[in-house]
Amino acid sequence: MNRDVSITTWILIAFGIVNIYFLTTGKLSFGLEGLGLITAVALTLAIYSFLYKDNPAFKIVENLFVGVAMGYWIIITWFNILKPDVLEPLIVPLFKDTGKSPQYIVIIPTILGIFMLLRFSTKLSWLSRWSFAFVVGLGSGITIPNFVHAFILKQMEPTFAPLYTGDILGSINTFLILLGVVSVLIYFFFSVEHKGVVGGVSVIGVWFLMVAFGASFGFTVMARMSLLIGRVQFLLRDWLGIIQ
């Protein structure tokens, strides 16, 4: 028996003993709730087993996650989109007297949606271009003016604000925004050689970028650790019951 098999066996035995103890002492219920909790714990431990090394338990759970997520999405899409927006307003009134006339306008988006799925057919995949043309045209028309307004014009406003805001800290903040925007823009302006004043300002731009990357990395560490903390809280509180 190699080392990895031995470790896995001992972990499974320990996991089994702990759960049998909890079930027999009534800390976990024999019903769906208890079974669900044990399953969640097993899946959590299997996912974290990857930190030791890649293994079959991790692979199984990884694939299980993809399958369950896809199944869940399909069910949600059926009950929230296809049933209320296509089946009930269009298909059902065609075959059953619901007191409402069928909404024939729904045929157009439904057909465009079906065309998208024809990508999988070698003979009919050209029809999917109509759907994509519609999506791209509509998307561009809606997105471009709104994005220009919200993400360029409105974002420029703080840069154009008067430098003196009435208090020293606020003024420093406004100055930093102006300096950051100008120096980073100059750093990404490659038509002029970065020498002299331009070079100096672009170095300030690099510093602003480095601070931004550092902040981003720090926040990412915080996010990943928050996920770990949440899972450890789940194991210690909901499963083992040793914290409140």
Partner 1 sequence: MERLLSIDRRYIFVFVALAVTIPLLIKFDLPVPVTKEVKGIYNKIDSLPEGAHVLIAFDFDPASKEELLPMALALLHHCFRKNVKVVGMTLNPGGTGLANSAITDTGKQYEKIQGEDYVFLGYKTGVELVMINMGENIYSAFPKDFYGNATVDLPVLKGVQSLTDFDYVIDLASGSSIEAWIAFGKEKYDFDLGAGCTAVIGPDMYPFLQAKQINGLMSGLKGAAEYEILINRKSTAVAGMSPQSVVHVIVVLFVIFGNFLYFMSGRKR
Which residues of this protein are in contact with partner 1, per CB under 8 A?
A: 51-52, 69, 72-73, 76-77, 80-81, 84, 142-143, 146-147, 149-151, 154-155, 157-158, 177, 212, 215-216, 219-223, 225-233, 236, 242-243
Task: Kindly state the smallest distance separating residue 208's Cβ from partner 1, in Å.
Answer: 13
Contact status, residue 239 vs residue 37, Cβ threshold 8 Å: yes
Cβ proximity to partner 1, 150 vs 185, nearer residue: 150
Helix axes 3-24, 32-48, angle to 10 degrees: 160
C-beta separation of 57 from 4 below 8 A: no
Q: How far is the CB of 192 from partner 1 (least distance, A)?
A: 26
Q: How far is the CB of 216 from partner 1 (least distance, A)?
A: 5
Q: Which is nearer to partner 1, 12 or 69 (CB)?
A: 69
How many whole angstroms separate alpha carbon 165 and alpha carbon 177?
Answer: 13
Residue number, 71 or 200, with CB nearest to partner 1: 71
Give least dist CB 71 to partner 1, A.
Answer: 11
* Whether the Cβ atoms of residue 46 and residue 57 lie closer than 8 Å to each other: yes
Q: Are the beta carbons of 67 and 18 closer than 8 angstroms?
A: no
**At its nearest, how many Å lie between partner 1 and the CB of residue 174?**
10
> For partner 1, which is the closer residue by CB, 69 or 192?
69
For residues 84 and 199, which CB has a smaller minimum distance to partner 1 in the complex? Answer: 84
Task: With beta carbons less than 8 A apart as the criterion, state whether 184 and 209 touch.
Answer: yes
What is the sign, positive or negative, of the torsion defined by CA atoms of 159, 160, 162, 165? negative
Residue closer to partner 1 (CB basis): 106 or 198: 106
What DSSP state is assigned to residue 192?
S
How is residue 244 annotated by DSSP?
A: -
Answer yes or no: are the C-beta atoms of 229 and 210 closer than 8 Å: no
* Cα distance between residue 171 and residue 164, in whole Å: 5
**C-beta of 201: minimal distance to partner 1 in Å?**
21
